[in-house]
Structure 1
Amino acid sequence: MSAVDTSSRKGFTWRCASATTKGNVRSHNEDSILDLSACGLWVVADGMGGHNAGDVASRMIVESLAGFQRRGPPSALLDDLEDRLTEVNRRLYNESLVSGAGMSGSTIVALLALERHCISVWAGDSRVYRGRGGKLEQITHDHSEQQEAIDGGVPDAHTNASNVITRAVGGAQDLYLDIELRELRNNDRYLLCSDGLYREISENDMSHHLTANDPEGACKALMKQALGGVCSDNVSVIVVEFSGA
């Protein structure tokens, strides 16, 4: 568990907290998180379960983005973020071809803070939620067979469709990322998480913990409830609270 407050800067300021756990069933943690508050960048990467070395893939993402620096206009920051992820994708995909050991991949969800906006970037089914005025909104849209079935109006897709990931870093020769720009408001709270959280906790409970606590308290409450259940998957959580005019 970590918690960070930023120093004052132009535009919005933020404070955040992060936590990750292997859960109650898995023998090791294939999730990796990055809390780069000084640069306004937060990342959750979930190594693909059932594939080769998912923890290596998620760690490669975090290690690459750890070198991110806040230089240039927003377009340059986004280009740098995309370039780093594209390079990790190339390395993972080429290694899978050479080694013959099978694919090694990871979901990615990142939140990048600008002066008065934030950008969500993702591939896979790790998510970003926004808490505003006591209401929780899912910002990202899962890249999974289950979500495709839901979008197609398949009955009972929430429970019956396979949850195979349809996009991931390392999953294909070309990486396609979704990007969402949102305007910030005072007291906005953003939650980044792996699927181990939202499959364990309802959105109502997530909203309650996000609203009732500061970022560190929200992280602790979310983790406590997740670990109090079956918690068969790894769980990663990052909570960011924005303050400004």
Structure 2
Amino acid sequence: MNTPMKDAPGKFESGAATDVGRVRHENEDAYLVLPESGVFAVADGMGGHEAGSLASAIVIDSLRNIAEPKMVAELLSRCCENLASANNRLLEIADERGGIVIGAIVAALLAWEGYYACVWSGDSRIYLVRQGAISQLSRDHTEVAELIAEGVLTAEEAQTWPRRNVITRAIGVYHELDLEIAEGVLEKDDLFVICSDGLTTHVTDAEILEAARLMEPHGACDELVALTIERAPSIM
């Protein structure tokens, strides 16, 4: 799922797209686009675990009822509170089902009155396109990303690391919710892209930049999803 979002005076232009892909039979991604409340989010059910689609739906539903705020700090507080509630709900469901893991990764962008805040847990990403350049605002919560940050692995070595998909943070996995937050000031013509690792596994940052810069939000979303499907392996 990708959500290029452009800041314009008094409004946000946004688009969204998702696809089940060529590997799984059920789409475990879910998204939320609420420009009237300044909330944009992607949730990805954790691969290999039961009820991934349920987990991502619960996370997104927890953000859906956030009311229009007075300031971005209020929006951020509500977002964190609702994600904590989703975390507790997923733990309850997991306990009811015999202790299985039901988790989801989330990346949320909050934008209001000239400010933005990014909230995430896991390896879904939030990018900012500003003045023709792309930067990753979020930081991947994965074992391999931590090893790169610590200097244990190089970026090249990480490509073949056997545990490169191990997630270190998620919603519904631990009793103590661990969110990371980044904040900033919006500038004219800022563009944001929120996506799951289904996109970034197959599409480069440069290609994301090109689509976001040259196309309208909905068209960019469709283009990036189509590119991902074209490059993704098939189960056949």
- Give the alignment's TM-score, normalised by structure 2: 0.90
Distance 1:119 1:173 in 2: 24
Amino acid at match of 1:197: L
Q: What SS does the aligned partner of 1:172 have?
A: coil
Q: Return the offset for 1:121.
A: 0.4
Structure-2 residue corresponding to 1:34: 32
Structure-1 residue corresponding to 2:75: 77
Structure 1 residues 12, 140: closer, same or farther in 2, change over 3 A? farther
Structure-2 residue corresponding to 1:23: 21
- Give the alignment's TM-score, normalised by structure 1: 0.87
Pairs within 5 Å for 1:70-109: 70-109=68-107
Which of 155, 165, 168 pairs up with 1:166? 168
Q: What SS does the aligned partner of 2:119 have?
A: strand
Distance 2:94 2:68 in 1: 32
The answer to whether the 8 Å contact 1:19/1:219 transfers is yes
Structure-2 residue corresponding to 1:240: none
Deviations 1:35-86 (A, max 9, x none): 1121111110000011111110000011121111113433322111111110
Identity across matched positions, percent: 35
The answer to whether the 8 Å contact 1:197/1:226 transfers is yes
Distance 2:139 2:148 in 1: 11
The answer to whether the 8 Å contact 1:124/1:142 transfers is yes
Structure-1 residue corresponding to 2:53: 55
Amino acid at match of 1:160: W
Structure-1 residue corresponding to 2:123: 125
Structure-2 residue corresponding to 1:185: 187
Structure 1 residues 5, 100: closer, same or farther in 2, change over 3 A? closer
Distance 1:72 1:132 in 2: 26
Pairs within 5 Å for 1:204-243: 204-230=206-232
